[in-house]
Amino acid sequence: MTVSILNATATSLLPICIAGEWRLGTGERYVTRYPATGEVVAELNAASVADVEEAVAGAYRAFLSSGWAQRKPHERAAVLYRVAELIRSRSEALAQRQRLDNGKPINETRALVASAAATFQFFGAACETLEEALTPARGDCLTMSVHEPMGVVAAITPWNSPIASEAQKMAPALAAGNAVVVKPAEVTPLMALELAAICEEAGVPKGMISVLPGKGSVIGDAITKHPLVRRVSFTGGTNTGRHIAHIAADKMMPVSLELGGKSPTMVFDDADLDHAVNGVLYGIFSSSGESCIAGSRLFVARSLYEPFMDRLAAGAARLRVGNPADESTQMGPLITDRHRESIESYVAMGVEDGGHLRTGGLRPHVAGCESGYFYTPTIIEGLTNSARICQEEIFGPVLVAMPFDDEDELIEQANDSVYALAAGIWTRDYKRAWRVGRAVQAGNVWINTYKQFSISTPFGGWRDSGLGREKGRLGILQYMEQKSLYWGLNEQPLAWANAN
C-alpha cells in the first residue's frame, strides 16, 4: 500500500505507520499548527504505549523474516537510491509541507528536502562500498572483522529540521540492514510519515519502518526502554538525552545523542569584516536561532568591537522577518507561542542582570500572519560570560556579544561552558586559526565560515552536547555490531587436548 500525506488536509485524520500498517494511532487526539498563523495543519491520534509494543514487535518480525538484512549491500543501496529519487521528484511539495510543519522559510525547507535526498544517496553509496577487514594473522588462523545489523533501532528526532534529521538517522540505519522505529517531535510529525511512505514505495519491506508521533515523555520513553530496541539515536535537549543515557546504561545499549549547544563565535581584529558580519548573522539568526549549533555567544576583539557591532546591529535590523511562504523571507516564526515566551524570559533575564539591547527584543507585525509566533533578531551587550543568558541554551534568535582582550582569555571564555558542540573563528591569520581551532573545545569548528554542513563529514558534540557521531562514510557503522571471525588453518589438532 502506498500512502502519501502530501495532499492531506486538516479536516482528515492522519494515519500513522505501525509496523507497516497505516492506521490511526490509539493515543490521544491532537492537532499540529502552522507557526506563522496558528492555523491547524493536521489532526491525528498520537501513538500509545500499546502501539509502541506492536510497532517494535512487528519491526523485529520484519527484521527476521523480510530478508532485508540478508540482501547484498548493492541491493539495499539500490532501494536507498530510489528513495532519493522519489524525494527529489516531490521536492517542492515536500518543502511546502515542511514549511507548514514548523514554519521555516520556504527557501530553507527546500534546502532541507535536498539534504534528505542527498543523505539517502550518500548512505546508499556507503552501503555498497563498505569493506570488511582481513586483519593481520598472528597464528594459524585467518582473521576477519565484519559488521552486521543490530535488529531494531530507534530514531528520535527534533522539530527544528525534521526531514533532514530523520533522513540522517533512517538512511544509515536502513543501509545497515536494520528495522527502524521513528519517534518524530510531537509538533512536527508530517515529514517522518511521508519519508516512511516514500521508503515503502521505493522497496523497503513492510514492517521495517514505523513512525510513532506523540509525547516524548510517553512514546519516546516506551521505545527507549523496550528490550528489543538495540540502539537509540536521539537529537534534542540535553536533559532528555541524559535520561535516555540512563536507560541505555541499564540496558547496556549504545546510543547516539546530539544535544544542546551554546556555541562561541570569535572575531579577531584582522578578520574580513564583510565575511565576518554576514557569517555571524547567518550563524545565529538563520532558522530563527532554533538550531543546536547557533553561534549564540559572540566574542569580538576589543579594538574592533564598536565598529563591528555597529555593522552587525544594522545588518540584524535589515533581516526580513516575515511570512515563510514569501521567497524573500529570511526569518520565519518560532515553533510555538510558548517557546517565544521562553525566549522573551531569557531576554528579560539578561536585561535584569545588567545587559542592554543593541537591537531587537520585539514581536514584529507581519502582515497576514498577525497570530504567528514571530520575534525580531536580538543582540544583547554588557554581560560577562558567566551570566545565565551566556551559559544556558535559549534556542532562539538571541545573540550575546562581548569584547575580548587577548587570545588566552578568549579561549578560556569560549571553553567555559557545559556545552561543546560548535565554534566559529574569523581571522586572516591561518596559524592563529589553526592554534585556536585546536584549542577550542567543540565537536565542530568553522573557520571563516559558519553553519556549513557535509553529509560526508562526521557531526557531534562533546560534554553536555552529546555522545557519538552522525554522518560520514562510517556513520553506517553506528547501526551495526562488529564481529570477529577466526578460520583455523592448522594442519594438526590443537595440542592442548592431546593425551600424554
Q: Element (H or E) spanning 232, and its range? A: strand 229-235
Number of neighbouring beta carbons within 10 Å of residue 142: 12
Which residues on adjacent β-strands are paired with residue 462?
A: 420
Residue 167 and residue 195 in contact, taking contact as beta carbons nearer than 8 Å: yes
* 41-50 per-residue burial string, b: 16 or more CB within 10 A, e: under 16: bbbbbbbbbe
Look-up: residue for cell 523480510?
A: 66
CA angle 449, 116, 168 (to 5 degrees): 80
At residue 392, φ and ψ (nearest 5 deg) are -105, 140
β-pair partners for 256: 233
Q: Are 167 and 122 in contact (CB under 8 A)?
A: no
Question: Catalytic pick from 194, 258, 381, 393?
Answer: 258
Other CB atoms within 10 Å distance of the CB of residue 7: 8
Whether the Cβ atoms of residue 115 and residue 94 lie closer than 8 Å to each other: no
Q: Specify the 3-state DSSP secondary structure of 368.
A: coil
φ, ψ for residue 91, nearest 5 deg: -60, -40
The answer to whether the beta carbons of residues 329 and 321 sit under 8 Å apart is yes
Q: Is 214 left (phi over 0), alpha (psi -120 to 50) or beta?
A: left
Q: Which of 298, 376, 383, 296 is nearest to 344 (CA)?
A: 376
258 is catalytic: yes
Strands 13-14 and 40-45: parallel
What residues act catalytically?
Answer: 258
